[in-house]
């Protein structure tokens, strides 16, 4: 897929990524089961904790660290979902519209990095 086509698809799918829906689902869950949001500093610590759990799996399963028997049952998708959940919590409690911001970020990166990676010889070893 050409870079221009990718950019057009990003433009066309603006506001159709479902992030707004996911933010609302997390907000509903917090209201129904969570009593209230943890304060932002607690959620920031939670986010660090969850990212650490992802890092542990990556280091042991895909990196060079030895994987313990107890690590083998850990689920990367589950831990990435934990990261997303806390990100949505932080976004909700700080009034961030991730759908809009993420769409804008993809547009910016598509424009700014249009040829950046294509011209990176480290990424094009077969050329």
Residues of this chain that bind Mg ion (CB under 5 A) = 50, 53, 79, 82
Q: Which is nearer to Mg ion, 22 or 84 (CB)?
A: 84
Q: Which is nearer to Mg ion, 27 or 82 (CB)?
A: 82
Residues in the chain: 127
Instruction: Select the residue whose beta carbon is closest to Mg ion and give its number.
Output: 82
Count CA within 13 A, CB hemisphere, residue 91: 22
3-state secondary structure string, 70-126? HHCCCCHHHHHHHHHHHHHHHHHHCCCCHHHHHHHHHHHHHHHCCCCCCCCHHHCCC
Q: Which is nearer to Mg ion, 67 or 82 (CB)?
A: 82
The nearest distance, CB 8 to Mg ion, in angstroms, is: 37
């Amino acid at each position: 897929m050409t870079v221009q086509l990718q950019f057009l698809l990003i433009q066309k799918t603006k506001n159709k990524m479902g992030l707004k829906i996911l933010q609302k689902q997390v907000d509903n869950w917090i209201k129904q089961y969570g009593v209230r949001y943890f304060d932002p500093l607690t959620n920031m610590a939670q986010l660090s904790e969850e990212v650490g759990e992802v890092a542990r799996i990556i280091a042991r399963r895909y990196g060079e660290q030895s994987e313990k028997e107890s690590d083998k049952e850990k689920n990367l998708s589950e831990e990435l979902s934990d990261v997303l959940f806390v990100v949505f919590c932080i976004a909700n409690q700080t009034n961030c519209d991730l759908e809009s911001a993420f769409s804008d970020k993809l547009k910016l990166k598509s424009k700014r990095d249009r040829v950046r990676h294509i011209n990176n010889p480290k990424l094009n070893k077969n050329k």
